[in-house]
Amino acid sequence: MAGRVAVIGAGLMGSGIAQVAAQAGWDVTLREIDDAAVQRGLAGIRTSLERFAIKGQLGPDDVDAILGRITSTVDLDAAADADIVVEAVFEQLEVKHAVFRELDRVCKADAVLATNTSAIPVTQIAAVTARPESVVGTHFFSPVPMMKLCELVRGFKTSDETLARAREFAEEIGKTCIVVNRDIAGFVTTRLIAALVVEAVKLVESGVVTPEDLDVACQLGFGHKMGPLATTDLTGVDVLLHATRNIYADTADEKFFPPELLQRMVTAGDLGRKAGRGFYSYS
């Protein structure tokens, strides 16, 4: 199937998606709002590929060959010839709406318009386009080059053909897919982790347990590879806060209401690994 994919957003998720698509032989257009952000994304991809090369999982010439399949740009019109477009911008509906209005304008008629949202209903994102049947959720997991899961999410009007093409793309770049048939806020995986994170933060906030011991309990008691608070630091404390707020706004279910500690950490800039401090210090 390999063709051309445009990835909108060169942050942790977007650059990871661009990397695995290029590794699988796709021609990739990676778009960000300014050149500095594009260069950060490309630098992250090179670092990731070089780690694979050091481990012997890529050959000596593979890194440059893969990077050679990625074209960077600040122009959203560069998505015009893409077969698949994957949006991976900030997790706010207004931001995604602005992107999808433009994608609806510039992309070819048969393009699949995918969103990497982890919590916002796909139907809400698709509503600003004239082709909601072409919009689908492709929720990849961080770090994308390592994590095998992709959550495919149907919007209310997502067509069977769009879902099938999204699955073909995800499987071709090495992912195993699950299908979410109704795009409730948070879908399946974010609902589960959000509920766990909210309760975990409450336990830490009230002094019942330390972050370290809580994560050890989940690792050794439940077989989790990474505890929920270390996962929050990796994903971004702000990202988890937005996710819990989105789910709570959609459900009014108190178990998803973000604890005060989570909100105060974001206000203070303790956003996890990307900021050097979250529930743990990364100095």
Check pLDDT > 90 for residue 192: yes
Q: How confident is the model at residue 119 (pLDDT cuts 50, 70, 90)?
A: confident
144 pLDDT more than 90: yes
Residue extents of the structural domains in the chain:
4-180, 191-275
CB atoms within 10 A of CB 81: 15
Residue 75's identity, in one-letter code, is D
Q: What is the pLDDT of residues 4-36, one digit of tens each?
A: 999 999 999 999 999 999 999 999 999 999 999
Could you give the angle at the alpha carbon of 83 between the alpha carbons of 189 and 152, nearest 5°?
Answer: 15
Q: Provide the 3-class DSSP secondary structure of residue 53.
A: helix
The structural architecture, per CATH, of the domain 4-180 is 3-Layer(aba) Sandwich (3.40)
Q: Across the chain, where does the E strand assignment appear?
A: 4-8, 27-31, 70-73, 84-87, 112-115, 135-140, 149-154, 176-180
Q: In this prediction, what percent of the chain has a pLDDT beyond 70?
A: 100
Parallel, antiparallel, or unpaired: how do β-strands 149-154 and 135-140 relate? antiparallel
* Fold observed for domain 191-275: N-(1-d-carboxylethyl)-l-norvaline Dehydrogenase; domain 2 (1.10.1040)
What is the average pLDDT across 145-167?
Answer: 98
Q: What is the pLDDT of residues 71-105, one digit of tens each?
A: 999 999 999 999 999 999 998 899 999 999 999 99
By DSSP bridging, strand 149-154 and strand 84-87 are unpaired
Write out pLDDT tens, residues 53-67: 999 999 989 999 999
pLDDT value of residue 49: 97
* Partner residues linked to 277 by β-bridges: 272, 281
